[in-house]
Structure 1
Amino acid sequence: MTDDMRGWSNYRPSKTMWGWSIVAASAVTMLLGFTWGGWTTTGRAHVMTDIAVRDARTELVAGVCVHNFVTASDAADNLKALQAKSSWQRDDFIKEGGWAKVAGIDDTVANATDACADQLMKLKELPTATDPAVTDS
């Protein structure tokens, strides 16, 4: 055997080297885990939960708002009036019409009127009363 091969087979790291190797391996593991591994901190998980709850509440109230708007007796006239409004006036029109009010929720839900107006603007025509999405089950 050559001297180079015997050098590696006879190598015995010190306790300090073992300690720093463990520290480095731990740091690399945490770095990879938090960047690519999908790990998250408790604080970040709470923030993500709060955002998901807010978005779900907004979508729920917007769906109720669209239903209330479409099932109103003067829905066709209201839709024409909504379409005539500028984009920054639509949420006020929805709010003043009371379509975004939901029983049990006293305050207005953030972005719900905007989402409702956006969904209503996407309608080509109002659904008919026989449409299962409009009628209550």
Structure 2
Amino acid sequence: MAMQTNTKQSLAQRWEAYQPSKSALVWACTATAVATMIVGFSWGGWVTGGTSLAQAKAAGDSARSELASVICIDKFNASPDKSAQLTALNAISDSYKRRLFVEAGGWATMPGQTSPDRRAAEGCAAALAA
């Protein structure tokens, strides 16, 4: 009669004795890759190329509008009848009409352009009315 030993292996011994199959390794690597992508796109701040392009375009448009507004404000402040124009601008309560007032005054027309910049006029009118 053979005597059976009833000894328990430690975790380290079981770890050393483990021989995973190739399919188990492939599935573990696949699951790890999928989990990494889920975590990266959900919480890691990863974005696709299309999203980053859209964000860069929006940031560029915003920066361009802010710069154009600053130029518009500078042109407004350099005008000889600044105080009268500012009084007239502040008398207008509608933001659309304020934008039209700034566009009509020519302050929102950027150097080298023939027509006023709508975003520059909006930002300029809001900053001057504040």
Query: If the length of structure 1 is used for normalisation, what is the TM-score?
Result: 0.78
State the secondary structure of the residue aligned to 1:73. coil
> Quick check: 1:76 aligned with 2:83?
yes
Counting only pairs closer than 5 Å after superposition, residues 98-113 of structure 1 correspond to structure 2 as: 98-113=106-121
Match of 2:62 among 42, 48, 55: 55
Q: How far does the alpha carbon of each residue in 1:104-136 deviate from its partner, in whole angstroms, 9 at most, with x for none?
A: 2345434221110111112xxxxxxxxxxxxxx
Q: Are the aligned partners of 2:69 and 2:124 in contact in 1 as well (CA < 8 Å)? A: yes
Aligned to 1:35: 42
Aligned to 2:98: 90
Unaligned runs of at least 5 residues, structure 2 = 1-6
Unaligned runs of at least 5 residues, structure 1 = 123-137
> What's the C-alpha RMSD, in Å, of the aligned pairs?
1.9
1:18–1:107 distance in 2 versus 1, CA, 3 Å? farther
Q: Are the aligned partners of 2:75 and 2:107 in contact in 1 as well (CA < 8 Å)? A: yes
* Higher deviation after alignment, 57-66 or 97-106: 97-106
Q: How far does the alpha carbon of each residue in 1:40-76 deviate from its partner, in whole angstroms, 9 at most, with x for none?
A: 2211111111111101110111001101111111110
Instruction: Answer 1 or 2: which has greater helix percent.
Output: 2
Number of aligned residue pairs: give it: 122
> Quick check: 1:2 aligned with 2:13?
no
Query: If the length of structure 2 is used for normalisation, what is the TM-score?
Result: 0.82
| Identity among equivalent pairs (%) | 34
Match of 1:117 among 96, 117, 125: 125
* Higher deviation after alignment, 43-52 or 1-10: 1-10
Q: Are the aligned partners of 2:99 and 2:121 in contact in 1 as well (CA < 8 Å)? A: yes
- Please report how far the alpha carbon of residue 29 of structure 1 lies from its aligned counterpart in structure 2 after TM superposition: 1.1
> Quick check: 1:20 aligned with 2:40?
no
Deviating beyond 6 angstroms after TM superposition, the runs of 4 or more aligned structure 1 residues are: none
Structure with the greater relative contact order (CA < 8 A, sep ≥ 6): 1 or 2?
A: 1
